[in-house]
Amino acid sequence: MWRQARGTTGSLHGACSDFSDDHSEDAEEEYQAAPALTQRGKPKKTGAETDLGAASGSATYQQIVDVLSLNRADNDQQINEGIQSILEKIRKSTNVTESSIGNAIFLGERIRLLDSFHVIMDKYYKADFERTMFHVPEIAEEQINKYVRKNTDGKITNLVSNLPGSTLMVMVNYILFKGEWKNTFNEEATHEEEFTLINHSKIKVPMMHRQGLYKTFSDKDLDCKVIEIPYKDKVSMIVAVPRLDIHRVGQALTFTSFEKWLDSLASSFVEISLPKFSINEELPDLTKSLQHLGMNDVFTEKADLTRMSPYPKLLVSKAVHQAVLEVNEFGTEASGATAITVATSSLLPFFKVDRPFFVFIYDKKTKSILFMGRVTEPATANRKHHKSVLKNN
pLDDT exceeds cutoff 90 at 229: yes
Mean of pLDDT values over 195-213: 93
Q: What's the pLDDT at 259?
A: 93
State the DSSP string of 317-379.
-EEEEEEEEEEBTTEES---------S-GGGS-EEE--S-EEEEEEETTTTEEEEEEEES-TT
Average of per-residue pLDDT across 94-99: 58
Higher pLDDT pick, 389 / 1: 389
What mean pLDDT is predicted for residues 256-260?
93
Helices 255-264 and 10-23 sit at what angle, rounded to 10 degrees? 120
pLDDT classification of 26: cutoffs 50, 70, 90: very low
More confident residue, 288 or 339: 288
85-94 confidence digits (pLDDT tens): 877 777 776 5
Distance CA 385, CA 23 (A): 20
Residue 134 CA: distances (Å) to CA of 139, 298, 313? 8, 21, 18
Residue 39 DSSP SS3: strand
Residues 6 or more apart in contact with residue 115 via CB below 8 angstroms:
none
Overall average pLDDT of the 109-138 stretch: 89
Higher pLDDT, 299 or 18: 299
Q: Is the pLDDT of residue 216 over 50?
A: yes
Does 278 or 19 have the greater pLDDT score?
278
For helices 115-125 and 76-91, the axis angle rounded to 10 degrees is 40
The reported pLDDT for the residue numbered 357 is 95
Percentage of the chain with pLDDT > 90? 26
Distances (CA, A) of 318 to 38, 40, 63, 145: 9, 6, 17, 17
Tell me if 25-179+282-324 shares its fold with 181-278+326-385.
Answer: no
Q: Does domain 181-278+326-385 have CATH number 1.10.287.70?
A: no
Cβ pair 45, 39 in contact under 8 A: yes
pLDDT bucket at 240, cuts 50 / 70 / 90: very high
165-181: average pLDDT: 81
Do the Cβ atoms of 261 and 362 come closer than 8 Å? no
Taking 70 as the threshold, does the pLDDT of residue 15 lie above it?
A: no
pLDDT value at 241 more than 90: yes
Which range among 2-11, 204-213, 299-308 shows the weakest confidence by mean pLDDT?
2-11
Over residues 138-162, the mean pLDDT reads 88
Domain ranges in the chain are 25-179+282-324, 181-278+326-385
Name the average pLDDT for the chain: 75
Per DSSP, the residues of 122-139 read HHHH--EEEEE-TTSHHH
Is 127 within 8 Å of 103 (Cβ atoms)? yes
Q: Using a CB cutoff of 8 Å and minimum separation of 24, what contacts does 72-79 make? A: 72/11, 72/12, 72/14, 72/15, 72/18, 73/11, 73/12, 73/15, 74/11, 76/51, 76/52, 78/11, 78/12, 79/12, 79/48, 79/51, 79/52
With 90 as the cut, is the pLDDT of residue 267 above it?
yes
Please report the pLDDT score of residue 352 as a whole number: 95
Separation between Cα atoms, residue 56 and residue 305, nearest integer Å: 9
Least confident of 92-101, 136-145, 150-159, 222-231: 92-101
CB atoms inside a 10 Å sphere around CB 165: 10
Bridge partners (DSSP) listed for residue 338: none
**What is the per-residue pLDDT for 207?**
94
Q: Give the mean pLDDT of 97-118.
A: 82
H or E stretch covering 230: strand 224-230
Quick check: 29 pLDDT over 50?
no
Instruction: Calculate the CA 308 to chain-centre distance.
Output: 26
**276-311 tens-digit pLDDT:** 987 777 776 778 888 888 989 888 888 888 888 888
pLDDT of residue 24: 41
The 10 Å CB-count burial string (b at 16+, else e) for 45-61 is bbbbbbbbbbeeebebb
By DSSP bridging, strand 128-132 and strand 98-108 are parallel
59-73, 162-176, 257-271, 329-343: which range is least confident on average?
329-343
Taking residues 137-157, what's their average pLDDT?
Answer: 89
Cβ neighbourhood burial of 266 (10 Å; 0-12, 13-18, 19+)? exposed
What is the pTM assigned to this prediction? 0.71
Question: What average pLDDT does this structure show over 37-65?
Answer: 57
The Cα 205–Cα 194 span in angstroms is 6
pLDDT of residue 249: 92
pLDDT for 58 equals: 86
Give the pLDDT mean for 98-111. Answer: 80
CATH 3.40.50.2000, applies to 25-179+282-324: no
pLDDT at 101 over 80: no
